[in-house]
Amino acid sequence: MDEVVKSKGWRRVGRHYVLLLWKNLILAKRMPVRTFLEITLPVFFGFLLLGIRHIVNADPAANNTVYQAYSFDELPSFDSGQTPSIVAYTPQTNFTFQVMQRAVNSLNIYSKLAKNK
């Protein structure tokens, strides 16, 4: 029974798609100037960009800036150091929970799940 229902659904989608294509063809015939511009302008600008690309010489950067990896064992304190640092996080998934537990254990901070509303 499901096979019959699925085949009728696909026929309906196919029929709607064919009708949409037919409507677009009719509109294209009614407005030939617009159709011509819709086809030729993107081609024109594509060739224009290719021409500009060949005119402009790209020089690779000689002095690339490469930064060393930064690793930290504690967070800077933003207050007088009296209260512990708290990091809030969301969404509540196993992945974010595991990541935050690793951060809590390695940085000696507290974590709090922010509730989704």
pLDDT (tens digit per residue) in 24-35: 999 999 999 999
pLDDT digits (tens, 9 = 90+) for 77-90: 666 556 666 777 77
The token pair that represents 101 in the structure block: 């537990």
Residue 107 burial (CB count, 10 A):
15
pLDDT value, residue 4: 53
Supply φ then ψ for residue 82, to 5 degrees. -75, -40
Q: How confident is the model at residue 96 (pLDDT cuts 50, 70, 90)?
A: confident
79 DSSP 8-state letter: S
For the question of whether the overall pTM of this predicted structure is more than 0.85, the answer is no
Q: In 3-state terms, what secondary structure has residue 112?
A: strand
Q: List, in order, residues 6 or more apart from 93 with CB less than 8 Å away.
A: none
